[in-house]
Structure 1
Amino acid sequence: MQRAAVRVLRGARSPPVRPCPVRLCPVRPCPVRLCPVRPCPVRTPPVRERSAVAGSPPLGLLYERHGEPAAVVQLKDLEVPKLGDSDVHVKMLAAPINPADINMIQGTYPILSPLPAVGGNEGVGEVLEVGPRVMALKPGDWVIPADAGLGDSVIQNAANSGVGQAVIQIARASGIKTINVVRDRPDLPKLVERLMALGADYIVTEEMLRKPEMKDIFKSIPRPRLALNCVGGKSTTDMLRHLQPKGTMVTYGGMAKQPVTVPVSAFIFRDVRLRGFWMTQWRKQHAQDQESVAGMMDTLCQLIRRGQLTAPACTQVPLQEYRAALDASMKPFISSKQILVL
């Protein structure tokens, strides 16, 4: 059960959940911060909860201390909170395991939930009951948590991630070329085939970033004005070298757990810009700018409805097998998002 603000997916009922690679949907202001949208498959987030059904207690993946997820996360019965006048009881249907969720359980994320805590921040749920003052929702609605110009080309690392796959598709729909960096791996040809099917223009390994052959790419497309980094370390330094002068690198993750190192010459002679992006802070800054957020989300959901933005590769795992899902989400070379199905 969640008492937090949610957004409703109108018309969505009981078909199988197929999470999509965006975290939010179109919004419209309403008294309880619940926003109607037209049906679209929405990227599910990991709030591991299940509402009481026929008297059964809800289940949650609870951790009472920080540590390695497989060691500290336990599947437990949770107490159902009393329904207030403006509250909504939600049965969670599915939720992915994201890197940030792992870091929060480990205790290494910048923001940590008070302990004990239920793991996860995203999800798709079904409304079971609403308080008497809730007008924007009704039982049976599907919901997600409310807190859920690029130039001619973009370069990004971790291109096989959920974010990376979304970037490929959004850029393709916008007429922007993508240069996609992945780690070398045994199944590289299969990965290349999958990303090309999504609309990737160029796929290179981290080793290829350092080779002279990279210049051949820029005979066909301009150098990117934007680099998206969620890895850090040498991969980031090598990717930065291919930016246009005055280009911008946005760092939104650090999966390699290594610092971003920038040559002095990149600042002096090419005037590159380094920025950071943190979804939590972005939401706070845009909390009062619902019109702009609604416009952006409308655009994304239009892409989804037209089939131009689809879900990343997902593996659906029953909630009771959460340990296997946690282990799989932390393995190298995994391109499939682990989705806990409740």
Structure 2
Amino acid sequence: MQMRPLVLRRASLIKRILTTHRHYSTRFGYAHSRCLVFSRFGQPEKVLKLHSYSIPPPYDDIINVRFIASPINPADINQIEGVYPEKPEFTLGLGTGDKSAVPGNEGLVEIVSCGSKVNPSIRPGQWAIMSGPNFGTWRTYAQAKESNLIMIPDKEGISPVQAATVSVNPSTAYRMLKDFAGLEPGEYFVQNAANSGVGRSAIQIGRLWGLKSINIVRDRPDIDKLKEELISLGGTEVITETEAKDKRHMAKITGGQPVKLALNCVGGESATNLARILGYNGHLVTYGAMSKLPFSVPASALIFKNIHCHGFWISAWSKENDAAKSQMIRDILGWIRDGEFKDIPYETTKWSEDTRLETLMEPVKRGISEYSGRKGIFMMEDD
């Protein structure tokens, strides 16, 4: 007769733990996670919902993590729309009525607690980033395995934004400059969309490796200000799309030295012009299509200059190069720590327990615009 009230009180306590609207997570407690979810592909403003669910304590090889910062990339938007090659896993594990997925491929987490079989070198308080795509980073808490994470052993001198954004834009630039054309110090590469996240990263990595860069941007009223900004990052030359079409102007820039590598993020006429700029045996690498237009390579460039055309996708590369990716991340974070690598333009949206769906959707809507100019980043507050 005395046990029934005790059982009821215990059940009531468990219910409060599971449903409380606090961020609470220890080895002995539950974490309350808030996340954006979608159960079907479509326009983000039509399919995204704000959802809450509870995460149990970790066990065996499970790691509980708290998200600190989660960027909003164009690929994330495309994935929600269903037009991106990488498709997320739709699951009932989030506690939603329909099978759902959490968007977001890039993010910085803090280790909260670990199961008994997790490598003892991984401890609460450490930082980590996602090792690959499709984890679902637009949320406040999650459970992961060691294979999902790349640990950041030393976070000294690195901001959350810098760590959260290291695995897509800087990494894409790093690989394209390193893996194609065999560039040596003093040699040229050319790129369009030079003021994009990848473009700014390529300028800075090129400078660190002793490369010369020709950086093409769209014609705009504030072009002088933008040119000055990109040159300050280490760009050798910054020119407009119109200037890039002038063969005499290009010859004057290079002094007749061949351009061996071109990085294309735009497509259309801009990409075709890159092929014309390349020298003999040059390599044209396409990693984006901001104009959403196809491009043609002149027959003369293929026949008489033996131009090589490639595509590059950092997600596919990452799946096959775990060790090389970890070393690359260490290199980039080292440059950041030494003050050799500057942040991309960004704007943050604070995500707390009280943040409403409408607030979270604002940067997502801005991210739909390919030319928004600043990367949106969710910054989670640990209430």
Using structure 1 for the length normalisation, give the TM-score.
0.79
Unaligned runs of 5+ in 2: 1-20, 91-99, 133-166, 168-181
Sort the Cα spacing of 1:328 and 1:188 in 2 relative to 1 into closer, same or farther, 3 A.
farther
In structure 2, distance between residues paired with 1:214 and 1:52: 57
Q: Name the CA distance, whole Å, in 1 between partners of 2:222 and 2:303.
A: 40
**Per-residue Cα deviation, 1:276-321 (whole angstroms, up to 9, x for no partner):** 111122122224xx2x444433332332222111221111112342
SS in 2 for 1:214: helix
1:214 alignment partner, one of 246, 250, 253: 250
Local SS of the residue matching 1:58: strand
CA contact (8 A) 1:155 1:228 kept: yes
Query: Alignment partner for residue 371 of structure 2, among 329, 333, 341?
Result: 333
Contact 1:51-1:90 within 8 A present in 2 as well: no
Identify which of structures 1 and 2 has the higher relative contact order when contacts are C-alpha pairs closer than 8 Å and 6+ apart. 1
Q: Partners of 1:246 and 1:130 in 2: how far apart?
A: 52
Alpha carbons of structure 1 residues 191 and 330: separation in structure 2 relative to 1, 3 Å = farther
Equivalent position of 1:70 in the other structure: 45
1:51–1:225 distance in 2 versus 1, CA, 3 Å: farther
Q: Kindly, what percent of the aligned residue pairs are identical? A: 37
Please list every run of at least 4 consecutive aligned residues from structure 1 whose deviation after the TM superposition is greater than 3 angstroms: 292-298
Q: 1:51 touches 1:89 (CA, 8 Å); kept in 2?
A: no
> 8 Å contact 1:179–1:200 — kept in the other structure?
yes
Structure 1, gaps ≥5 residues long: 1-49
Which of 71, 96, 99 is matched with 2:71 structurally? 96
Describe how 1:184-195 pairs up with structure 2 within 5 A.
Answer: 184-195=219-230
Tell me what 1:150 maps to: 183
* Per-residue CA distance 1:213-253 (angstroms, 9 max, x = gap): 2222122x723211111211111001111111101011111
Q: Aligned equivalents of 1:175 and 1:222: distance in 2?
A: 15
Distance 1:94 1:296 in 2: 20
**TM-fit CA distance, 1:61:** 1.3
More divergent stretch after superposition (293-302 vs 103-112): 293-302
Matched to 1:337, the amino acid is K
- Structure 1 residue 114: Cα displacement: 2.6
Q: Which residue of 1 is the match for residue 24 of structure 2?
A: 53
Q: Please give the alpha-carbon distance, in whole angstroms, between the structure 2 residues aligned to 1:325 and 1:99.
A: 12
Q: Greater shift after overlay, 202-211 or 98-107? A: 202-211
1:98-113 to 2 correspondences below 5 Å: 98-113=73-88
In 1, distance between residues paired with 2:214 and 2:121?
43
Which residue matches 2:121? 136
Relative to structure 1, the CA distance from residue 111 to residue 187 in structure 2 (aligned partners, 3 Å threshold; closer, same or farther) is same
The alignment status of 1:248 with 2:283, answered yes or no, reads: yes
8 Å CA contact 2:39–2:47 kept in 1: the answer is yes
* Separation in 2, partners of 1:186, 1:91: 43
2:11 equivalent in structure 1:
none
| Distance in structure 1 (CA, Å) of the matches to 2:61 and 2:22 | 18
Aligned amino acid, residue 128 of structure 2: V
Greater mean deviation of Cα atoms: 229-238 or 253-262: 253-262
Aligned partners of 2:66 and 2:110 also within 8 Å: yes
Q: Deviations over 1:54-88 (max 9, x none)?
A: 66621111111111112222222134255231111
Checking the alignment, whether the CA contact within 8 Å between 1:63 and 1:105 is kept in structure 2 is yes
Q: CA separation in 2, counterparts of 1:210 and 1:333?
A: 22
* CA 1:186–1:340: 2 relative to 1, 3 Å: farther
Considering only CA atoms, is the larger Rg found in Structure 1 or Structure 2? 2
Question: Could you say what secondary structure the match of 1:78 adopts?
Answer: strand
Q: Which amino acid aligns with 2:379?
A: V
In proportion to residue count, which structure has more helix? 2
SS at match of 2:347: strand
Equivalent residue, structure 2, for 1:323: 361
Alpha-carbon distance, 1:105 to partner: 0.7
Aligned length: 289
Residues 1:296 and 2:328 aligned together: yes
Matched letter for residue 214 of structure 1:
M
SS of match in other structure, 2:376: strand
Q: Structure 1 residues 234-243 or 191-200, which shifts more?
A: 191-200
Counterparts of 1:159 and 1:250 in 2: how far apart (Å)? 14
For 1:281, the equivalent position in structure 2 comes to 316
Cα deviation for residue 326 of structure 1 reads: 1.2
Which one of the candidate residues 216, 226, 238 is aligned to 1:181?
216
User: Which residue in the other structure is 2:149 paired with?
Assistant: none
1:121 aligns with 2:105: yes
Aligned CA distance change for structure 1 residues 95 and 305 (closer, same or farther; 3 Å): same
Q: Which amino acid aligns with 1:124?
A: L
After superposition, give the CA deviation of every residue in 1:32-59 in whole Å (9 maximum; x if it has no partner). xxxxxxxxxxxxxxxxxx9942666211
Alignment CA distance shift 1:73-1:252 (3 Å): same
TM-score (norm: length of structure 2): 0.71
Q: Helix, strand or coil for the counterpart of 1:257?
A: coil
C-alpha RMSD of the superposition: 2.1
Match of residue 203 from structure 2: 168
What SS class does the counterpart of residue 117 from structure 1 fall into?
coil
> d(CA) in 2 for partners of 1:51 and 1:246?
59
